[in-house]
Amino acid sequence: MTDAEDSLGVLESVAAAWPSCHHVRIDEAQLAEVCAQICPGDLRLPTWDFPVFYRADPDKLAGQILLFNAVNFCYWGEPRWEVEFGGRWWDGSLAMLAAIHRSLEAGIPLLEGAFLARLRESELRDIMRGRGALPLITERLTIWQGLGRVLSDQFDSSLTAVIFSAGGDALRLARLLVHCIPSFDDEWSFAGRPVRFYKRAQLAAAMLFEAFDGQGWGKLSHCDRLTVFADYKLPQVLRRLGILVYNRELAAAVDSQTRIPAGSRPEVEIRIATVWAAELMRRSLTPRLPDITALHLDYWLWYAGRQQGPDVLPYHRTLTTAY
């Protein structure tokens, strides 16, 4: 398979769409200044050694990562949703991983397609029990049920069979998720052309690679050709760094926490700008850091986002199953 045939087309579609963006611009001088301050030791891949990951069984860990990414979106309910696990409370994506881990420890067969296909809302609410509000609970139920049917019909009811079918290729795994499981599709129409992000499908492949340190279920080639994962946190950090600049109308909407509809031009532009800015950062850093990938930058930005203080500018509010 050639490079062209094996490409997800994310970066290509973003590059083609970027010149049509009007709500967001990239301050390339500021981008260069930020990149000049990044040291080799600042860039690393995550090991995902949080206790919410099911490390006791490699097969279950791999299944947990795929199951998690099927519903890894939109955690910004009020009050914020949290799950208790291992003697502490977790929020955001780590709360979802904690809920799955807790259920697996309790013997709930969450990783089996037949169980997921029959999952009831009352069971899902019990799995997600905690404090605060988890948005889009009905959508998460529908997604897990659909995933269960696909697993039962095509993959012998097994999440790890999906990984096995990818033949050790991260791009093929992401494509498989997008094509076989509709909830992983993340393509939008923008300025008369399709723009692809595939945030959760790419993240599933990357997390497997990182959590398994490139071995076992994480032995995946072509991870260096994944992009950053366009979500809420990355554009928030890029904006704080002065790399992304919103026009007055969009800045007012984001700062007032006004909801921006999924698929609207401003929302898609934020995601386009996020992926393209990260690619420009990668290109800027490559001459002195030749091994840098989008995964390094994604984690650098994601980690910076988790360290932000309470007075930081808010992230954009979009109710979506894409991220």
Query: What amino acid positions are annotated as catalytic residues?
Result: 231
The amino acid present at 55, given as its one-letter code, is R
Q: d(Cα 170, Cα 173) in Å, to the nearest integer?
A: 5
Q: Is the dihedral of CA 198, 204, 208, 210 positive or negative?
A: positive
* Cβ–Cβ under 8 Å, residues 44 and 203: no
Q: Determine which helix (DSSP H) or strand (DSSP E) holds 222, and give its type and residue range.
A: none
- Give all strands (DSSP E) within 88-222, no chain letters: 88-91, 187-190, 193-196
Query: Residue 316 has which token pair?
Result: 């954009």
Q: d(Cα 258, Cα 39) in Å, to the nearest integer?
A: 36
CA dihedral 227, 91, 45, 24 (to 10 degrees): 30
Q: d(Cα 284, Cα 302) in Å, to the nearest integer?
A: 19
SS3 track for 78-110? CCECEEEECCEEEEHHHHHHHHHHHHHHCCCCC
Query: 98: which residues sit within 8 A by CB, 6+ positions away?
Result: 52, 83, 84, 85, 86, 90
SS3 221: strand
The residue among 155, 98, 166 whose CA lies nearest residue 130 is 98
Query: 118: which residues sit within 8 A by CB, 6+ positions away?
Result: 145, 148
Q: d(Cα 253, Cα 289) in Å, to the nearest integer?
A: 37
